[in-house]
């Protein structure tokens, strides 16, 4: 068992052809370990390894539910939503740090925003939560169909000779359908690339002590900063008379969810209601909570 598998993999990136692996047991007092020598032509790497008996065995997963999924599609769905999560730290609630699975939805939220992806090709029978870092290893399966085995405390993903096993949390049942508004007062389209470009312009005008709050109305983006008031314009397709404020960073992340799309639909109800973003032909959505802004600042 490699002590530093990432370092060993990094060394092997620079090898080409057949590898020669030599293993020698080392000891110092009560400590025992293995020294591995990996060589390829003139290049050589010596790395340390654990003895098998010193490495914990993977817990056995007793299957409660089993699903067949496409690894690439599952990873894509996770990538759509994971940006909304907070970094894990002591006393942080798991529902704000884990990707959640419920029914035909994969979603993530941090209390200020929500992103979700809907796909009937995977309908889980029992909600659960997984850290996004563990699901990132789905990339190693490529585009193949894999088996997802859900146990009492662990999720195991298997395909061919490789398996990924990670702890699951939950169920924490968050009602996505209940949190998302059903009717909207206005719907209009924006170009995400252009919108992001103008937000980047406003961001560069901020000082570190400034609050990154933007007011949006009829395509006009306004920023009140310590150094002055700034504004710019983005083209919209449709009518927008309801002005609303938002946290700049949250809107940037939501628009980036739809990178590559020519248009994104923004749906609003009032200055204090959630803002929903979606794109034609896609099953993923984003929701950003508004920021209450003083009329003087908004003006």
**Average pLDDT per 10 consecutive residues for the chain, totaling 299 residues:** 89 90 89 90 90 81 95 98 90 89 96 96 95 96 96 94 92 87 97 97 89 94 92 96 96 96 97 96 97 62
Q: Which of 191, 240, 201 is nearest to 222 (CA)?
A: 201
The helix/strand/coil state of 25 is: strand
The long-range contacts involving 153-160, CB below 8 angstroms and separated by at least 24 positions, are: 153/59, 154/59, 154/61, 155/61, 155/128, 155/130, 156/61, 157/71, 159/71
Same domain, residue pair 206 and 286: yes
Q: What's the domain count of the chain?
A: 3
Same domain, residue pair 110 and 15: no
Query: Which of 136, 159, 178 corresponds to the end of one domain?
Result: 178
Q: What percent of the chain has pLDDT over 70?
A: 98
In a domain, 60, yes or no: no
In a domain, 157, yes or no: yes
Predicted model pTM: 0.86
Whole-number pLDDT of residue 52: 80
Alpha-carbon separation of residue 152 from 30, 49, 87, 95, 101 (angstroms):
37, 31, 25, 18, 15
Same domain, residue pair 152 and 256: no
In a domain, 59, yes or no: no
Whole-number pLDDT of residue 299: 44
Same domain, residue pair 74 and 137: yes
pLDDT in tens, 151-168: 999 999 999 899 999 999
What's CA 30's distance to the chain center, in Å? 44
Whole-number pLDDT of residue 298: 46
Same domain, residue pair 153 and 219: no
Q: How is residue 234 written in tokens?
A: 């983005």
Handedness of CA 272, 247, 131, 75 (dihedral sign): positive
Alpha-carbon separation of residue 56 from 1, 35, 142 (angstroms):
10, 19, 28
Same domain, residue pair 167 and 228: no
- Could you give the CA distance from residue 288 to residue 271 in angstroms, rounded to a whole number? 12
Same domain, residue pair 292 and 234: yes
Same domain, residue pair 184 and 173: no
Enter the DSSP assignment of 88. P
Containing domain of residue 94, as a range?
Answer: 65-178
Same domain, residue pair 71 and 167: yes
Domain of residue 194, CATH code: 3.10.150.10
Handedness of CA 287, 292, 297, 299 (dihedral sign): positive
Query: Which of 130, 153, 178 corresponds to the end of one domain?
Result: 178
In a domain, 106, yes or no: yes
Whole-number pLDDT of residue 158: 96
The helix/strand/coil state of 250 is: helix
Whether the upstream peptide bond of residue 171 has omega within 30° of 0, thus cis, is yes
The helix/strand/coil state of 121 is: coil
Count Cα neighbours of 205 within 13 Å in the Cβ-side half-sphere.
Answer: 19
Same domain, residue pair 283 and 211: yes
């Amino acid at each position: 068992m490699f002590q530093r598998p990432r370092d060993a993999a990094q060394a092997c990136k620079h090898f080409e052809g057949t590898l020669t692996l030599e293993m020698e047991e080392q000891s110092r007092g009560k400590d025992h370990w293995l020294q591995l020598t990996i060589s390829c032509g003139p290049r050589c790497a010596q790395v340390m390894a654990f003895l098998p008996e010193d490495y914990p065995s993977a817990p056995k997963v007793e299957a409660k539910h089993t699903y067949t999924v496409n690894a690439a599609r599952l990873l894509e769905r996770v990538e759509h939503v994971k940006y909304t999560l907070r970094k894990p730290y002591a006393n942080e609630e798991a529902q704000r740090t884990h990707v959640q699975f419920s029914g035909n939805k994969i979603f993530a939220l941090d209390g200020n925003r929500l992103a979700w992806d809907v796909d009937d090709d995977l309908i889980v029978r029992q909600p659960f939560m997984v850290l996004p870092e563990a699901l990132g290893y789905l990339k190693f399966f490529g585009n193949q169909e894999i088996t997802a085995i859900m146990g009492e405390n662990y999720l195991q993903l298997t395909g061919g000779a490789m398996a990924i096993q990670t702890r699951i949390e939950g169920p924490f049942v968050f009602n996505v359908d209940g949190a998302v508004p059903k009717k909207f007062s206005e719907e209009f389209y924006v170009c995400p690339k252009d919108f992001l470009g103008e937000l980047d312009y406003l961001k560069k005008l901020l000082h570190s002590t400034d609050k990154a709050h933007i007011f949006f109305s009829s395509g006009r983006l306004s920023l009140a900063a310590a150094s002055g008031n700034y504004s710019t314009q983005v083209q919209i397709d449709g009518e927008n008379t309801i002005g609303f404020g938002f946290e700049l960073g949250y809107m940037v992340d939501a628009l980036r969810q739809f990178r590559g799309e020519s248009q994104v639909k923004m749906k609003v109800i009032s200055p204090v209601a959630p803002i929903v973003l979606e794109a034609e032909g896609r099953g993923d959505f984003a929701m950003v909570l508004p920021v209450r802004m003083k009329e003087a600042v908004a003006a």
